[in-house]
Each structure stands twice: as structure tokens, then as C-alpha cells.
Homo-oligomer: A and B are copies of this chain.
Amino acid sequence: MVEPDGIKALAFDVFGTVVDWRGSILRELEVFGAGRGIAADWASFVDEWRAAYKPMMDRVRRGELPWTDLDRLHAMTLDRLLGEFGIRGDLSAAEVGQLNTAWHRLAPWPDALPGLGRLKRRYVLSTLSNGNMALLVNMAKHAGLPWDCILSAELCRHYKPDPEVYRMACTLLGVAPHELMLVAAHNEDLAAARAEGLRTAFVARPAEYGPRQNRDLAAEHEFDVVARDFGDLADQLGCP
């Protein structure tokens, strides 16, 4: 058990750390395709959709795009992929919009809700995600995620791992950096938080990217906690 002395709040990365975006989107695309009689390699579709996530945010981070929220970035990529997969002409605008909000309906990893329930009794639990506020609010409502606060990169118009995002979380929660712990499945996010003085907890999600995942399989820096899942995290933080 680590010494949780002085930690007041936990901020969670969401996509991949709390929810299984790949499995959730894949299921929704498969159900959609079956219902509409559209055959496609949906696993490739979801992987390409997600592969565009970081490059699109990086265009915003570099100033090549003005501030654009994640729903809109997802929609831009979706439009391109529907064309590349040859199915754009089959869909109405309403259907495309509904598909884009699949990112609002992601399912938690099996350990997430029980672990968050234990952690919530001791700590303030917040998101700290690149998802926009509406996406995160809808996801929490849909999945029953018990956040005390929803914080998004949208609030400071910088995407993680820009340092502004971690600083904003401290300011808005009214805590010093060492009183806030970022929980994430991604080394880059945690390293950036650590550079701003936050505490850090790595939770491995070896199935996040599917069967061929070759990144973020283990902690690559000195983080305060390395946990197998949210139950293990609650154990290590002394939350019964």
C-alpha cells in the first residue's frame, strides 16, 4: 500500500482507462451494419477512427486548426472513413450523427464501477479527459460513472498532454498539484502530469487497442502507483 498522505482528489483519464472504447464502438458498428445490411470490416473501421484521434488533436495543439472539440474531430474522421469504406452514400445525416455519438455510449471495464465506488468514499473523483463536456456527461449518465466532477480539455481549450490541462484541473478543484493524482493507462499522459507535479497512477489496460496492442503494456516511468485494475488501485490507496 502506498502512503496516500495528502491526496485529496483523483483525476481519471477516460478513454481506455475507464471505458473500453474499442469493444464498445465495434459492437455498435456491428449492430448498426447488421440492421442496415451494410457489410464492412468494422474492426478496421474502429481502429482507423481511433488512429486519427491523436493526429487530429495534434493539429489543434499545433494551431493548424482552431479549437475544435472532440465530437467535431470524431465527426470529421467519420466522414472521411465513411467515404473510404464506400458507405457514406448509404447513410442519412441523422444516421451519421447517431454513429458519431457512439463515443458517448462507451462501456466501462468490468472493474471500473466497483473500484470507483470504493475510491469515491475517500476521494473527490473527477474526469480529466480530452473528450468534450457533453460527451463525458452523457457517457457518465449512460454508464453510471459516479464522478464528483467532470473536467474536460475543452474547458481550457488545450488537449492533453499540454501542461495547461493539468494546471487547470488543480485550479478548478482547488488543490495543489501534489494533492491531485492522475489515473491513466497511458505513459505519455502520466509523464506530462508528473512533470506538472501531480501524483500518478498507472493502470494497465492491455486489451485497450485489441489483440495486437503493442503500447502502454507497462509503466515506463516512476509513477507513484502501478495497479492491475481499479480494484487493485483502491487496495493500494487503502480504500476498503
Listed in ascending order, the chain A residues whose CB lies under 8 Å from chain B are: 71, 124, 126, 132-135, 137-138, 140-141, 148-150, 154-155, 172-175
Partner of A174, one of B124, B134, B149, B150: B134
A174 touches B141 (CB 8 A): no
B133 touches A173 (CB 8 A): yes
Q: A149-B150, A150-B149 are in contact. Are A173 and B134 (CB under 8 A)?
A: yes
Cβ of A222 to closest chain B Cβ, rounded Å:
29
B134 touches A172 (CB 8 A): yes
B133 touches A172 (CB 8 A): yes
Question: Across the interface, which residues of B come within 8 angstroms of A150, CB to CB?
Answer: 148-150
Please tell me how many copies of the chain the complex holds: 2
A126 to chain B: closest residue by CB: B137
In this complex, the member of A137, A138, A148 whose beta carbon has the largest number of chain B beta carbons within 10 angstroms is A137
A134 to chain B: closest residue by CB: B174
Question: Across the interface, which residues of B come within 8 angstroms of A134, CB to CB?
Answer: 172-175
Cα–Cα, bound, A141→B132 (Å): 23
Question: Across the interface, which residues of B come within 8 angstroms of A141, CB to CB?
Answer: 124, 148
Known: A126-B137, A134-B175. 7 other contacts (CB 8 A): A71-B174, A124-B137, A134-B174, A135-B174, A137-B148, A141-B148, A149-B150
Cα–Cα, bound, A71→B174 (Å): 10
A71 to chain B: closest residue by CB: B174
Cα–Cα, bound, A148→B145 (Å): 9
Question: Across the interface, which residues of B come within 8 angstroms of A149, CB to CB?
Answer: 133, 137, 150
